Amino acid sequence: MLNKNEIKESISNILLLDKGVTIKTATDSELYYALSKSMMLLILEKWKNQKTDVKKVSYFSAEFLMGRAFSNNLINFGIYDEVKEILEELNLNINIIEDEEMDAGLGNGGLGRLAACFLDSGATLDIPLNGYGIRYEYGLFKQYFENGFQMETADDWLRNEDPWSIRRESEKVDVVFNDFTVEAIPYDMPIIGYNSNTINTLRLWSSKSKESFDFKEFNDQNYLDAQKNKIIAEDISRVLYPNDTKEEGKYLRIRQQYFFSSASLQDLVRKHKENHGSLDNFYEFNKIQLNDTHPAVSIPELIRILIDEENYTFEKALEIAKETFSYTNHTILAEALEMWPKEYFKNILPRIYEIIKLIDESLMEELKSKGLEKSKCSLYRIVHGGKIKMAWLSIYGSKYINGVARLHTNLLMSTELKHWYEIYPEKFQNKTNGITQRRWLLKSNPELSKLITELLGSDEWIKNLSKLKDLEKYVDDDSVIERFMNIKKEKKKQLADFIFKEEGIKIDEDSLFDVQIKRLHEYKRQLLNAFHILDLYYKIKENPNIQIEKRTFIFGAKAAPGYDRAKAIIKFINDIASLVNNDKDVNGKIKVVFVHNYRVTYGEYLFPAAELSEQISTAGKEASGTGNMKFMLNGAPTIGTYDGANIEIVEEAGEDNNFIFGAKVEELDEIMESYDPKEYYEKVEGLKKVVDTLIDGTFSDGGSGAFEELYDALLQGYDWHRADNYFILKDFESYREAQKKVDKAYKNKKEYAKKSWMNIANAGKFSSDRTIREYSKDIWEV
């Protein structure tokens, strides 16, 4: 039990000391800050008493898409209801205070949200799993639309301070580049397990100049030059994924990757030496998971530390590294496997380049000892054709490599990484991704959570999601399904209110909420969704009395600043929205909304309210997906391809409770060389009409040529990719037929709700708790 008077006194003291205000005169923002600081004081005692001399896992990731910390921490710490009561006694509303928190600008897509879910699961399962990354001053960007175009502005998430982080000045380290040295300042965030004894740590590094101010330059009145070193150093932790279309941006990306990898390894080495003295057993007490290839430079960096600072031989250092690291691959796309010009490393990290060359030579010797023909060895070279292949470095330098869904792992082993699998089959594993039910059901959908707990007779599902399977027996219980439908209706109203507040757009709460929210990329095929909406619009125009269920199509996505084609797709969808939403003939039958600045907080409204989950990537291109799992957990059937984790979702919940369409991987492989999209463009009813809107003047791209470029990419291709590279035109008719099935199914709302219920009941496999248990047993041995 919390001592209410002590909490109130703590809030009052923090407000007075840090803000110079009282509880009565404080703004909501100041109250949020003081309350969060008060909660940190409660957490600190338990946090600082965590064991340090045990075997632990460090999760190295360029991003951690954490979402808001306030409510999640209170829920996991078990004090949410008590804090709510304290605030009510002070005539304060906990929801209003929570809304003052900005989403931490530490991640963007599924990679970062997966990392956040994994940290939650690690702490909940009492596994010492800590995160390491960068404390970006600004997130990727804040997105807004201007005439339908994506515009970007700084995501200044630290503007109102960050009460959930503690600066550890005494544990700063130096990170050395060839041209300058920076200080890495650690900031620690508590990762609180749900109803557990564990509080793990997310340590994020901020880059500072060793000499932040050149007094001589300032005294000579060269004011900008006086700050030059400070600016250059702090750029390293300035922005998540800086634009790298130019050489300067590429250099900055490499600096970022080395910066957090080096700082994190120095931190781990120091702590290990304090506890154990020798580094001979470093790998026995430290397992490091590389979340994709962004931290791959950690492998040569650990070897550098062991050789140059601890006097190990290269052979012994490599042996320790190969026992320490494991690598998670997140893509089957060859173009997405990270490579850097070797000259970049030679220029700013010459010693690291030397060590990478040594690793490469060691690999060649090992392959020869395995009897591999010399002519085939070049397939494995880490440094080849003037490039450093970071995925190859990660594979050779790691004990295990895993994919993130069964199909993805099988494709890695049979296609992109087949030659590696043939040599090192013992290294490869599958670890299907998962999501934390604490964030994505307990917090996001308390109404549904309460019903589930009531029906199951306990809240064990919060830590054991497989318990949801027992919900299947209620699928034919009309009273239960009715209650579920009412909850879904309530969540739809909450989303409608939030969209009106954020976008100024009213949506029909009685329409089917059809949602596609994810990073904007061609292979995710938001364009296929857009073409279907436009086709449906033209059918309504031809027959205004057409009998279809009312539907609201909701998009949410950011395109990388330098990804022009993705930006063109956003503009196209926004133009379709403008056309559809302003046409009286449509008469409310369909509506299109592209929400701006999609983030975790928006997701917490969208996932519980959705009634159809759009997972329509080209088969074989989506590694796993985790949005599909969040939709499933909240009762939205999937319309999707046999791709990523969709396959496993359908296996669990049944194909009858989802809507599957499109070509499978095997079919696409067969037609890859002979595929002609014009065949579909000309013959599929209605398809030419919607594709031609890109060039016939229906929409305007402001003279940028972006729409014509999209059109050409579909029908003629370019020298770097074939026409219709992601088979949008091929899958269009199959997708349209699946959407007709959705429309037909939704006419019987109760039967549709039963499909939704069966998805919830079979979502147990997709908890990140299950994933982390598998990592712990099979990879980390924790």
Say if residues 83 and 35 touch (Cβ distance below 8 Å). yes
Tokens at 275, concatenated: 């506890």
Looking at the fold, whether 182 and 275 belong to one and the same domain comes out as yes
Q: Helices in 325-415 by DSSP H: which ranges? A: 342-348, 350-369, 390-396, 406-414
Looking at the fold, whether 40 and 55 belong to one and the same domain comes out as no
**Annotation marks residue 330 as catalytic:** yes
Say if residues 70 and 87 touch (Cβ distance below 8 Å). no
In the chain, count H helices and then E strands.
33, 21
Which structural domain range is residue 37 located in? 1-49+71-97
pLDDT of residue 32: 97
Asked whether the predicted pLDDT for residue 335 surpasses 80, the reply is no
Looking at the fold, whether 60 and 9 belong to one and the same domain comes out as no
Could you tell me the pLDDT band of residue 328, with boundaries at 50, 70 and 90?
very high
DSSP secondary structure letters along 499-549: HHHHH-----TTSEEEEEES---GGGTHHHHHHHHHHHHHHHHH-TT----
Tokens at 455, concatenated: 């029906």
Percent of the chain with pLDDT over 70: 100
Looking at the fold, whether 119 and 256 belong to one and the same domain comes out as yes
pLDDT of residue 221: 80
Asked whether the predicted pLDDT for residue 343 surpasses 80, the reply is yes
702 by Cβ neighbours in 10 Å (0-12 / 13-18 / 19+) ranks as: exposed
Looking at the fold, whether 256 and 187 belong to one and the same domain comes out as yes
pLDDT of residue 333: 80
Looking at the fold, whether 42 and 108 belong to one and the same domain comes out as no
Q: Which of 518, 589, 621, 736 is catalytic?
A: 518
**Annotation marks residue 626 as catalytic:** yes
Q: Which of 630, 736, 754, 765 is catalytic?
A: 630
- Mean pLDDT across the stretch 158-180? 96
- Mean pLDDT across the stretch 211-224? 76
Could you tell me the pLDDT band of residue 224, with boundaries at 50, 70 and 90?
confident
Q: What is the CATH number of the domain that holds 395?
A: 3.40.50.2000
pLDDT of residue 468: 98
To the question of pTM greater than 0.95 for the whole model, the response is yes
**Annotation marks residue 584 as catalytic:** no
User: Does residue 736 fall inside a structural domain?
Assistant: yes
Asked whether the predicted pLDDT for residue 247 surpasses 90, the reply is yes
pLDDT of residue 222: 77
Looking at the fold, whether 220 and 248 belong to one and the same domain comes out as yes
CA 443 – CA 437 distance, rounded (Å): 8
pLDDT of residue 473: 98
Say if residues 558 and 143 touch (Cβ distance below 8 Å). yes
Looking at the fold, whether 75 and 213 belong to one and the same domain comes out as no
User: Does residue 190 fall inside a structural domain?
Assistant: yes
Q: Which of 238, 304, 524, 571 is catalytic?
A: 524
User: Does residue 477 fall inside a structural domain?
Assistant: no
CA 580 – CA 331 distance, rounded (Å): 35
User: Does residue 125 fall inside a structural domain?
Assistant: yes
Asked whether the predicted pLDDT for residue 694 surpasses 80, the reply is yes
Looking at the fold, whether 271 and 348 belong to one and the same domain comes out as yes
- Which string of b and e fits 61-92 if b means at least 16 CB within 10 Å? bbbbbbbbbbbbbbbbbebbeebbebbeebeb
User: Does residue 753 fall inside a structural domain?
Assistant: yes
pLDDT of residue 250: 96
Asked whether the predicted pLDDT for residue 183 surpasses 80, the reply is yes
202 by Cβ neighbours in 10 Å (0-12 / 13-18 / 19+) ranks as: buried
Q: Residue holding tokens 């600081």?
A: 37
Looking at the fold, whether 122 and 134 belong to one and the same domain comes out as yes
Residues 6 or more apart in contact with residue 549 via CB below 8 angstroms:
511, 512, 743, 746, 747
**Annotation marks residue 473 as catalytic:** no
Asked whether the predicted pLDDT for residue 215 surpasses 80, the reply is no
Which of 13-22, 123-132, 329-338, 708-717 is least confident?
329-338
Q: Which of 519, 730, 736, 765 is catalytic?
A: 519
Whole-number mean pLDDT of the chain?
96
Question: Could you read off the pLDDT of 90-142 as tens digits, one per residue?
Answer: 999 999 999 999 999 999 989 999 999 999 999 999 999 999 999 999 999 99
656 by Cβ neighbours in 10 Å (0-12 / 13-18 / 19+) ranks as: exposed
Looking at the fold, whether 191 and 300 belong to one and the same domain comes out as yes
39 by Cβ neighbours in 10 Å (0-12 / 13-18 / 19+) ranks as: buried
Looking at the fold, whether 89 and 221 belong to one and the same domain comes out as no
Asked whether the predicted pLDDT for residue 2 surpasses 80, the reply is yes
Q: What is the dihedral of CA 599, 602, 607, 611, to 10 degrees?
A: -120
Phi, then psi, of 153 in degrees rounded to 5 = -140, 165
- Mean pLDDT across the stretch 354-372? 97
Asked whether the predicted pLDDT for residue 52 surpasses 90, the reply is no
Tokens at 360, concatenated: 């490469």
pLDDT of residue 51: 86
Measured CA distances, 764 to 550, 600, 758 (Å): 31, 22, 11
Q: Which of 330, 408, 525, 754 is catalytic?
A: 330
Q: Which of 436, 626, 638, 641 is catalytic?
A: 626
User: Does residue 451 fall inside a structural domain?
Assistant: no
Secondary structure class of 321 (helix, strand, coil): helix
User: Does residue 462 fall inside a structural domain?
Assistant: no
Question: Could you read off the pLDDT of 629-672 as tens digits, one per residue?
Answer: 999 999 999 999 999 999 999 999 999 999 999 999 999 999 99
**Annotation marks residue 524 as catalytic:** yes
pLDDT of residue 613: 98
CA 718 – CA 105 distance, rounded (Å): 35
**Annotation marks residue 55 as catalytic:** no
Q: Provide the domain count of the chain.
A: 3
pLDDT of residue 778: 98
Asked whether the predicted pLDDT for residue 514 surpasses 90, the reply is yes
Asked whether the predicted pLDDT for residue 469 surpasses 80, the reply is yes
